[in-house]
């Protein structure tokens, strides 16, 4: 903990050094990987050739800014066939969800990863600590001109464990300054981990931070902490309440099933605060509600705020109001006319964040979903890719609700250890109600991310069926892409039946052609399309004019390396009459966050290419439909790197 006392020279702290060309980019392009397994490569290439046989490069590139790729001189310093044992469970035995990405972890690394490939994976404008493991975002808040982000962090290595609260501050949610740890596991009630928690800002300005402590005997308890000095804009020093823990698992609740307190909201009389905590009874996910007048003493209320059979343990519940008519966000205590409540749960069982819109009755203390078939945990997801343990906060500075989410690695744990880091936080997103559909929220990257946009190019094209159009950008690793597509109306009208049973995850990806799709963009692709990640729409049209639009991200050919997860993500997306189909993708090295239809659906992918990196990463437009042509327009900005570095505390 730091010992400085305020006031600080905050202006000085803000004078960032010039944005570097890109600290995470290498000066030379990566050397194309020479495969060890030639046969496998030949088979792979033949499959690719076959599947792409009709994808003809038949149109003019948007801008010929040909990139000269200089072969890298790097050596392969991570030898393949490294003998590994299956990684031990990280989390479950301690009463948290499994933190090892098991789908590809264990066994041997089978690919010859180079330093260049692995160092390219580090992001340039997403929040990351300097090294080691990170997971859930915790207690985000705005205080005296600074956004504060706390996060689950392992001080010692790139795997989950020894969980401490990392802490960073930002003026704009984009450029971050790392601060000393806010809280470390040093008390009997949190010695096994200072786990996830949330902040509540009281009307008098005090900040109450409730978090889960994992005790010395592995029991989950709720604890209180608060800033030692509220006049400190950096909130450097945190005090753990002397009578912690303030809540212990009530009768009937498992000692390892009681975690992640939410931000508090005011009770109907306005004299007490309520919080909810996730748990389960057998396989029913439940949200317990506690009431408190002072944040020191708590009373468990009867019943649950909500429960859904079959959804298992609810982690990281989030519960907040959303305006039906205004585009601003609402303080967590708002309720009444023109307001719905979003309930979000992180499902331990499948590691996805689900939400539902509904109504909160504060007298009965019950939340009811608008549509029981789309109840929380069985209906909509925040993100159809990798996105977990998310948390919103009300930004009183700009009157908006902002969502943070933890994006895990989807490569082998052994690779995280080699890299020395694991996980990224998503670009913070604003959350509003979708007034057009009335049935979902809209998530959108905070406007501040646009301050990183630099050179741009625009391009319009008619994409004939089976076409791939290269867009020549000289830095395919850091981009903000906005694309819009309009299907040829005549073909659409006369097409009577097209794949009504389509489903992105089981579709086989973008190589699978239908009459009306897929079409979209390709990112992180090499020139020869050996590695590529298509993000696209697929339109299915049923016999009675029923139309379903799917939004997918296909990782199947995102990397030739086998040590990484490769699946097709996606879901149906609502499209209203007269709307074009739109995609916005934020590409930042190994993460791609893609938003369809203004944020009605979102897919976050982690991508680990071996050749489509650095200056060799390319962008394409494509239309792989067999029948319909598509009018496409695209605008691409290069993105500068964010300035993320330690706070110069010695200069205070």
- What is the binding site for ligand DQQ (CB under 6 A)? 96-97, 135-136, 152, 163, 195-196, 212, 259-260, 315-316, 389
Name which of 230, 304, 223 is nearest 259 in CA terms: 223
Can you say how many angstroms the Cα of residue 458 is from the centroid of all Cα atoms in its chain?
27
Question: Alpha carbon of 634 to those of 111, 454, 513, 521, 620: distances in Å?
Answer: 35, 16, 22, 9, 10
Catalytic annotation, residues: 136
CB of 490: closest distance to ligand DQQ in angstroms?
Answer: 50
* Residue 542 three-state SS: coil
Residue 169 near residue 177, CB atoms below 8 Å: yes
Residue 614 near residue 118, CB atoms below 8 Å: no
CB of 447: closest distance to ligand DQQ in angstroms?
Answer: 28
Residue nearer to ligand DQQ on the CB measure, 279 or 443: 279
Q: Which tokens go with 364? A: 């009965």
Q: How far apart are CA 181 and CA 162, in angstroms?
A: 13
Identify the residue whose tokens are 């009157």: 399
Angle at 160 between CA 125 and CA 255, to 5 degrees: 125
Residue 271 near residue 293, CB atoms below 8 Å: yes
The distance in angstroms from the start CA to the end CA of the chain is 15
- The residues near 496 (Cβ < 8 Å, ≥ 6 apart) are 541, 543
Residue nearer to ligand DQQ on the CB measure, 121 or 346: 346
Which contiguous run of DSSP H or E holds residue 51? helix 38-51
CB of 374: closest distance to ligand DQQ in angstroms?
Answer: 23
Q: How far apart are CA 624 and CA 464, in angstroms?
A: 9
Residue nearer to ligand DQQ on the CB measure, 221 or 481: 221
Q: How far apart are CA 146 and CA 587, in angstroms?
A: 26
Q: How far apart are CA 400 and CA 393, in angstroms?
A: 9
Can you say how many angstroms the Cα of residue 199 is from the centroid of all Cα atoms in its chain?
20
CB of 388: closest distance to ligand DQQ in angstroms?
Answer: 6
Radius of gyration of the chain, Cα coordinates, nearest whole angstrom: 25
Which segments within 329-452 are labelled E, that is strand?
Answer: 339-347, 352-361, 366-369, 380-381, 388-395, 400-407, 421-422, 424-425, 429-433, 441-445
CB of 458: closest distance to ligand DQQ in angstroms?
Answer: 40
CB of 196: closest distance to ligand DQQ in angstroms?
Answer: 3
Q: For residue 292, what are the β-bridge partners?
A: 273
Q: For residue 632, what are the β-bridge partners?
A: 461, 485
Question: Alpha carbon of 103 to those of 57, 441, 505, 532, 558: distances in Å?
Answer: 35, 31, 16, 21, 16
| Helices and strands (H and E) in the chain: how many | 5, 37
CB of 315: closest distance to ligand DQQ in angstroms?
Answer: 4
Residue nearer to ligand DQQ on the CB measure, 199 or 322: 199
* Residue 434 three-state SS: coil
Residue 620 near residue 473, CB atoms below 8 Å: no
Name which of 114, 115, 106, 112 is nearest 83 in CA terms: 106
- The residues near 379 (Cβ < 8 Å, ≥ 6 apart) are 354, 356, 369, 371, 373
Q: Which tokens go with 461? A: 């094209």
């Amino acid at each position: 903990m730091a010992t400085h006392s305020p006031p600080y020279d905050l202006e000085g702290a803000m004078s960032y050094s010039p944005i570097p060309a890109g600290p995470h980019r290498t000066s030379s392009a990566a050397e194309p990987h020479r495969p060890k397994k030639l046969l496998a490569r030949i088979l792979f290439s033949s499959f690719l050739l076959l599947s792409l046989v009709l994808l003809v490069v038949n149109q003019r590139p948007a801008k010929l800014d040909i990139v000269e790729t200089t072969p890298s001189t790097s050596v392969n310093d991570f030898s393949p066939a490294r003998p590994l044992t299956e990684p031990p469970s990280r989390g479950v035995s301690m009463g948290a969800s499994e933190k090892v990405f098991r789908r590809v972890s264990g066994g041997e690394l089978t690919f010859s990863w180079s330093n260049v490939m692995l160092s390219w994976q580090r992001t340039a404008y997403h929040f990351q600590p300097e090294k080691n493991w990170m997971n859930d975002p915790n207690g985000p808040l705005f205080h005296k001109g600074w956004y504060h982000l706390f996060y689950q962090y392992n001080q010692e290595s790139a795997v989950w464990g020894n969980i401490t609260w990392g802490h960073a501050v930002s003026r704009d949610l984009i450029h971050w300054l790392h601060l000393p740890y806010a809280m470390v596991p040093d008390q009997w009630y949190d010695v096994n981990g200072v786990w996830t928690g949330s902040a509540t800002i009281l009307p008098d300005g005090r900040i109450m931070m409730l978090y889960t402590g994992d005790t010395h005997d592995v029991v989950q308890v709720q604890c209180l902490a608060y800033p030692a000095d509220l006049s400190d804009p950096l909130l450097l020093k945190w005090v753990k309440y002397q009578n912690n823990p303030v809540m212990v698992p009530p009768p009937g609740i498992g000692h390892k099933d009681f975690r992640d307190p939410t931000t508090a909201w005011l009770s109907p009389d306005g004299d007490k605060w309520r919080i909810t905590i996730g748990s389960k009874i057998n396989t029913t996910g439940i949200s317990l509600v506690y009431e408190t007048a002072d944040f020191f003493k708590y009373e468990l209320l009867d019943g649950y705020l909500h429960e859904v059979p079959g959804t298992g343990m609810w982690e990281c519940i989030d519960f907040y109001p959303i305006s039906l008519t205004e585009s601003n966000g609402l303080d967590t205590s708002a309720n009444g006319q023109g307001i719905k409540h979003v309930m979000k749960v992180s499902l331990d069982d499948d590691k996805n964040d689900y939400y539902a819109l509904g109504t909160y009755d504060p007298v009965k203390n019950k939340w009811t979903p608008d549509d029981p078939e789309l109840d929380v945990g069985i209906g909509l997801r925040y993100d159809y890719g990798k996105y977990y343990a998310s948390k919103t906060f009300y930004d009183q500075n700009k009157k908006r609700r902002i969502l943070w989410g933890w994006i895990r690695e989807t490569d082998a744990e052994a690779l995280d250890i080699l890299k020395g880091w694991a996980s990224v936080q998503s670009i913070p997103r604003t959350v509003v109600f979708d007034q057009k559909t009335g049935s979902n929220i809209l998530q959108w990257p905070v406007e501040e991310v646009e301050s990183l946009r630099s050179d741009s190019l625009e391009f319009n094209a008619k994409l004939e069926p089976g076409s791939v159009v290269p867009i020549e950008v000289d830095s395919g690793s850091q981009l903000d892409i906005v694309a819009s597509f309009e299907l040829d109306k005549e073909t659409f009208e006369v097409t009577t039946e097209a794949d009504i049973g389509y489903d992105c995850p089981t579709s086989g990806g973008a190589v699978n052609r239908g009459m009306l799709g897929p079409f979209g963009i390709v990112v992180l692709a090499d020139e020869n399309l050996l590695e590529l990640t298509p993000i696209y729409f697929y339109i299915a049209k049923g016999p009675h004019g029923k139309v379903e639009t799917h939004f997918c991200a296909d990782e199947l050919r995102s990397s030739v390396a086998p040590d990484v997860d490769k699946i097709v993500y996606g879901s149906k997306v609502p499209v209203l009459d007269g709307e074009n189909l739109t995609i916005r993708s934020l590409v930042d090295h190994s993460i791609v966050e893609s938003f369809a239809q203004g944020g009605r659906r979102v897919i976050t992918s982690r991508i680990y290419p071996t050749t489509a990196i650095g200056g060799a990463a390319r962008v394409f437009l494509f239309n792989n439909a067999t029948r319909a042509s598509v009018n496409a327009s695209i605008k691409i900005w290069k993105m500068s790197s964010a300035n993320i570095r330690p706070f110069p505390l010695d200069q205070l």
